[in-house]
Amino acid sequence: MTQKYYAQIYVTLRPSVLDPAGVAVRSGVQQMGYDNVEQVRIGKYIEVTLNANSEDEAKTQLDRICDLLLANPVIETYRFDLTTVSSEVQTS
Amino acid sequence: MTQKYYAQIYVTLRPSVLDPAGVAVRSGVQQMGYDNVEQVRIGKYIEVTLNANSEDEAKTQLDRICDLLLANPVIETYRFDLTTVSSEVQTS
């Protein structure tokens, strides 16, 4: 039976990759007077709703989507949390 | 005593706001053959390391930083998770 899944995907730069946008934000934060902010790194957060026959199928698809479309594996890594959307929530 | 905190900030579009980038990604995913993907919404994920005297102080600062710099409160909402960075991790 097809089940609806909700995935929260986090795409982040690899630690060795420079993040100029993060440096710019830290500079802005420090100009606001918050000198105590040490580091800012910026990534992407993507919410995906999909239907799949099993959790494994959903994970396989999400891995492919992340590798090919959402993340650049040379400079970025990703991880995701997967939860089922209970069908009881739907109101007819 | 000053403590180091690690914050994970999620900035997302309000549900009522259209997300053209998300629609474009969904279209790309469907062209990959995954017709089962219903919705894609794109947000920002920001990691911040900061020093603060207490968890409350860190939260207050992060709220200000999010409101003024990271999120546009008209179209976006944010939330963050705050964890302490244990000083034992540091190697001298």
A44–chain B Cβ distance below 8 A for any pair = yes
The minimum CA-CA distance between A7 and chain B, rounded to whole Å, is 10
What ranges make up the beta strands (E) of chain A? 3-13, 37-52, 76-84
Mean pLDDT per 10-residue segment, chain B (92 residues): 93 96 95 94 97 95 95 96 76 44
A39–chain B Cβ distance below 8 A for any pair = yes
**Distance between CA atoms of B5 and B18, rounded to whole angstroms?**
34
Between the CA of residue A29 and those of A33, B41, B55, B66, what are the distances in Å? Answer: 7, 27, 18, 10
Which DSSP letter does residue A12 get?
E
Query: Is ipTM over 0.90?
Result: no
Q: Please give the backbone phi and psi of residue A65, each rounded to the nearest 5 degrees, phi first.
A: -60, -40
Q: For the domain that residue A65 is a member of, what is the CATH number? A: 3.30.1280.10
Number of domains in chain B: 1
Nearest to B42 among A36, A44, A61 (CB): A44
Predicted local confidence at residue B86, as pLDDT: 78
Whether residue A62 is predicted with pLDDT greater than 80 in this model: the reply is yes
Are A40 and A23 in contact by the 8 Å Cβ rule? The answer is yes
Predicted local confidence at residue B87, as pLDDT: 65
* Angle at the Cα of B87 from the Cα atoms of B84 and B90, rounded to 5 degrees: 125
Bigger pLDDT: A56 vs A90: A56
Residues of the domain holding B63: 3-89
